[in-house]
Amino acid sequence: MPRTPAPDEDDDLDDLPDTHPPQPVYYAEQALLGALLLDPHRLADVTGIEPGSFSNYAHGALFAAIRDLPAPDPVQHTQDTTWLNAVLAAARKHARGLTASYLHTLIQVCPWPRHASAYARMIETEHARRTLRAHAERLALTARDVTLPQPVTATLAAADALARCVDDLAARFPSHPGSLPRTPAPPPGDTHDGHDEEALDEERLLLATATAHPTEAEQMRWLTVHDFTQPLHAGLWQCLTALTRRGAPVDPVTVLWEAQQRGLLTTGIEPAHLLDLLAGTAGSPQYWGERILQRAVLWSAHDVGHRIEAFTEDPATTPYQLVVGSRRALADLHALRTRWKHASTPTPTASPARTRASAPPRAGPPRATAPSASRISR
């Protein structure tokens, strides 16, 4: 039967198995903690980080203990370990694996205590990268969550949180030349590949209903060819909108002729097939257009999240490069967001102008005296 270790038999952090090799920030955290344990007064030089900024939980607990305890007398600190013992006791309340030997290891591995502020900046940078990655992952996951009652609202809220995180990074890290990320963008996700049957059906129904009700389709300027999954459907939508804007007749045959003029009738696309596609009406163009645009918003948000994730996973990308790359990615989603607002906001109905009816002449004030006889004679 395995023996349960006693509370005081926690393993040293150095002895714990690690499935992943430590990243450079791990050593920066060790160097900073060693500097603060050796020279506690250097805590005044450390800004921009909190216990949660550390990638290692035990390191964060140790930093919190150093920050919360009063600094020792410099001379007394060089003569005994009273303050170090107090720090260890406070930190072990939250991280039981900490030992006195690990504190001495931290002191030994610190290259230069006077570089504490530089170590803190490294920790701040890596924490910002992790925070941005978490927001990007949340955006991508929210965009793919099919259980949400209002998926676009939840996705745009996640995008707003991501944008605020980017603004915070821009305020904390100054700009510098050459700020474009060098990380190549990941390939688009497999959701916008033109093979989603539900999306294809919605696009077919939109084209058919828009052909039957071209006046309604003409008002849907918020829908663009980039929102379609199938190039043929995007081309047919261009045919429809071109006909309506020219004031030309719109029906399946005129749309078919316009498609021929635009070179859409390539090999494998038969005219009879297009006529059948444009004849299957159901619902209204507005409804199917909103469905297509909603899908485009969610797809775009998912891809934006993955693009920003790719930036954060490249350790060579600087914080300000993360800012520039993230803002460019979010700009694409912002354009879709604006069109979604136009599509989903009901058009205000103009109330008829009120016409003022001519009022009957008002009676004059009563005369105080009877009219004179001379005026009557006139």
Q: Is the pLDDT of residue 184 over 90?
A: no
Q: What is the reported pLDDT for 6? A: 41
Q: What is the reported pLDDT for 108? A: 95
Q: What is the reported pLDDT for 239? A: 94
Angle 148-297-244 from CA coordinates, rounded to 5°:
125
C-alpha torsion angle, residues 13, 18, 24, 27 (rounded to 10): 10
Q: Where are the domains of the chain?
A: 7-111, 127-186+194-345
Mean pLDDT of the chain: 85
pLDDT average, residue stretch 335-344? 91
Q: Is the pLDDT of residue 168 over 90?
A: yes
pLDDT, greater one: 361 or 315: 315
Given a contact cutoff of 8 angstroms between Cβ atoms, the answer to whether 308 and 158 are in contact is no
Cα-based distances in Å from 247 to 21, 259, 260, 303: 67, 17, 19, 38
Q: Is the pLDDT of residue 371 over 70?
A: no
pLDDT, greater one: 8 or 71: 71
Q: Is the pLDDT of residue 192 over 90?
A: no
pLDDT digits (tens, 9 = 90+) for 236-281: 999 999 999 999 999 999 999 999 999 888 877 889 989 998 987 7
Q: What is the reported pLDDT for 347? A: 61
Q: What is the reported pLDDT for 107? A: 95
pLDDT digits (tens, 9 = 90+) for 300-328: 999 999 999 999 999 989 999 999 999 99
Q: What is the reported pLDDT for 179? A: 67
pLDDT average, residue stretch 358-378? 44
Q: pLDDT band for 175, please (50, 70, 90 cuts).
A: confident
pLDDT average, residue stretch 187-215? 79
CATH ID of 127-186+194-345, from 3.40.1160.10, 2.60.110.10, 1.10.860.10, 3.10.105.10: 1.10.860.10
pLDDT digits (tens, 9 = 90+) for 39-48: 999 999 999 9
Q: pLDDT band for 19, please (50, 70, 90 cuts).
A: low
Q: What is the reported pLDDT for 42? A: 93
Q: What is the reported pLDDT for 194? A: 44
Please state, for a pLDDT cut of 90, what percent of the chain lies above it: 65
Q: What is the reported pLDDT for 78? A: 86
pLDDT average, residue stretch 17-28? 81
Q: What is the reported pLDDT for 375? A: 40
pLDDT average, residue stretch 209-215? 92
Q: How many CB atoms lie within 10 A of CB 198?
A: 9
Q: Is the pLDDT of residue 4 over 70?
A: no
Q: What is the reported pLDDT for 203? A: 94
Q: Is the pLDDT of residue 150 over 60?
A: yes
**Ranges 181-190, 231-240, 241-250, 334-343: which has the least confidence:** 181-190
